[in-house]
A and B are shown apart, each in its own frame.
Chain A
Amino acid sequence: MVTVQAAMNSPTDSPGIPPRPTVLVIDDAPSVLALNAAILRHVGYRVLTTESAVDASLLMARETPDVIILDYMLPVMDGPMFLRQVRADPRFANVGVILLTASNQEKHIEAAFAAGGDDFLTKPVDRRILVARVNALLETRRARARAAAERDVAEERDALLREVAEAKQTQSAQLPSFPVTWNGWRLEGMLQSCGHVGGDLFDVIDQGPSTRTFALLDVCGHGLAAAMVASSVRSALRLLVRELSAERAVAALNLHLCQLNDLYVCIALVQVGEDAITIVNAGLPPVAVVHDGAVTALVGPNGAPPGLFEESTYDSIRVERRPGMRLVVMSDGLTEAFGLSDCTEATAQRLGLLDGAPTSRELEAGVRGLLSGANSAHADDATLLVLSDERGPPRSRGSKGDKDAR
């Protein structure tokens, strides 16, 4: 008579303790079946037993053992036939199978492996060898499972890194190419993200032959989320500055951002006209006006960073155009690294911006050198824009290559 005997203990009886591995023993010889089951139970396995492959199939409709000890010679459906059926079912892809053969015949061993067996043992089975083989098979399965899980994590990480690299590329592609020149003005700049992508962004908006508005944005936070917000702010700003004055554009941006939760942006919006510059600085380090090798004015703050308070108001500062003048705009990633958010003048001096008008390439190198000696605990995106009036004295520095690239 065929019997199906399950072990007394459920694998999930004890909460917090990992379930014991389950071994299904299939053998039509009751004495062998009982002996092997007893050996495996004795060392702590949960053991299920059946005397036929047919009953084993029924049992496996509701149980997935970790290991099967499968007799080669069984009535109705022999071991290899049952094994092929098991291997065809993806639910049992990770079940380890050891075939028991009555002899050491090569054809049985070959058939066992051909059907999908992991190992084989010849009868009579030594107790210690049976336990050692089951332990070894389970350990191999666990190692494979760990490797598969690690592979999954690695694949997920690689996919994420690819996405970040694409985001970085997209963000870089949105930045204007330097230098931007018009009507005797020259704008140079650089952006160095502390992560793969950043919350700093700048933009130059063309408003006719003599007018450009440029903006430096620093969104709260870092990384992808900040980059997404920066991109959305840039789009909104492009529309607003074409319709509104600089301070009204920032006020409208403020109302827009206040609709979104907990997002704000520090911004300097600079409208450069024929004879004057209008500046709105809401939250960035002071914008420096440089003339004759000295800072002649520091601009800001003209309002709270947009996105914090609906009731915020904004004003603007108008600066007359003077031959040879420069305007230096930077994000706090450049100033905070040296202790204080408002030390624009000292930072500009360190970068040689009071005495000359470096090219973007020179700015980049200067910032890299400057930040390499800074407090890395305060690492942040660092952006610098320098607007120069080229009608004044000749530039003391600059490369011909950059001019040619215009």
Chain B
Amino acid sequence: MHAETEVVGDTVVVTLLEPRLDGARGLKLRQKVAELAAGGTRSILLDLTAVEFVDSTGLGAIVSSLKLLGKGGRFQLCGLSQPVRVLLRLTRMDQVFKSFARREDALMAAGSPCSPV
């Protein structure tokens, strides 16, 4: 999985650089989020601008990432392509994940601190 991470305030932005989030890439995303969570990160923004396709394993990895941060954490999405938006709608994950069209909007919204653990 090719990805870049950048720290903006208290949020770590994980930007996926490949067009697919599936199989092994999904597992690597989960690993990455687990490492960040273990290191104390409480707010993650997953930038999916480059991602055109998410399969069931990829969706599982996104959900696992949310769970890894726990109730006190914040896991948000931005840059959803139409197929990814449709997948989230079909699985009702659009009601679970807060998503933003642009990364800047998400970071502005993330300005408020995470709720206490």
Contact = CB atoms under 8 A, between A and B. Distances in A.
B82, B86, B92, most chain A CB atoms within 10 A: B92
A221 B90 contact: no
A340 B86 contact: yes
A308 B90 contact: no
A262 B64 contact: yes
A378 interface: yes
A284 B23 CA distance: 19
Nearest to A264: B60
A10 B82 CA distance: 64
Contact of B82 (A221, A262, A284, A340): A340
A304 B92 contact: yes
A305 interface: yes
Contacts of A303: 92
A283 B90 contact: yes
A341 B60 contact: no
B91 A304 contact: yes
Given A309-B63, A340-B83, A341-B87, 15 more contacts: A221-B56, A262-B64, A264-B56, A282-B92, A286-B90, A301-B92, A305-B91, A308-B63, A308-B93, A309-B96, A332-B90, A342-B89, A377-B20, A377-B53, A380-B55
A231 B80 CA distance: 33
Given A301-B91, A304-B96, A340-B82, A220 B56 contact: yes
Interface string A217-245: 01111000000000000000000000000
A189 interface: no
Contact of B57 (A221, A309, A332): A221
A339 B96 CA distance: 23
Given A264-B60, A304-B96, A339-B83, A285 B53 contact: no
Interface centre among B20, B23, B63 (most CB of A within 10 A): B63
Interface of B: 20, 23, 53, 55-57, 59-60, 63-64, 82-83, 86-87, 89-93, 96
Contacts of A266: 56, 91
B20 to A, nearest CB: 7
12 contacts: A220-B57, A221-B23, A221-B60, A262-B60, A264-B60, A264-B63, A308-B63, A308-B93, A309-B63, A342-B86, A342-B89, A378-B55
A387 to B, nearest CB: 21
A341 B53 CA distance: 10
A117 interface: no
DSSP majority for the B interface? helix
A313 to B, nearest CB: 10
A301 B55 CA distance: 17
A283 B60 CA distance: 12
A300 interface: yes
A301 B89 contact: yes
Interface of A: 199, 218-221, 262, 264, 266, 282-286, 300-301, 303-305, 308-309, 312, 332, 336, 339-342, 377-378, 380
A341 B83 contact: yes
A341 B86 CA distance: 6
A301 B20 contact: no
Contacts of B23: 221
A285 B83 CA distance: 12
A341 B90 contact: yes
Given A340-B82, A340-B83, A377-B20, A300 B90 contact: yes
A280 to B, nearest CB: 12
B99 to A, nearest CB: 16
Contacts of B53: 336, 377-378
Contacts of A342: 86, 89-90
Nearest to B19: A377
Closest 8 A/B residue pairs (Cβ): A220-B56, A304-B92, A283-B91, A301-B92, A342-B86, A220-B60, A341-B86, A340-B86
A301 B90 CA distance: 6
A50 B97 CA distance: 77
A220 B57 CA distance: 6
Nearest to A342: B86
A360 to B, nearest CB: 25
A350 to B, nearest CB: 18
Nearest to B94: A301
Contacts of A262: 60, 64
A332 B22 CA distance: 14
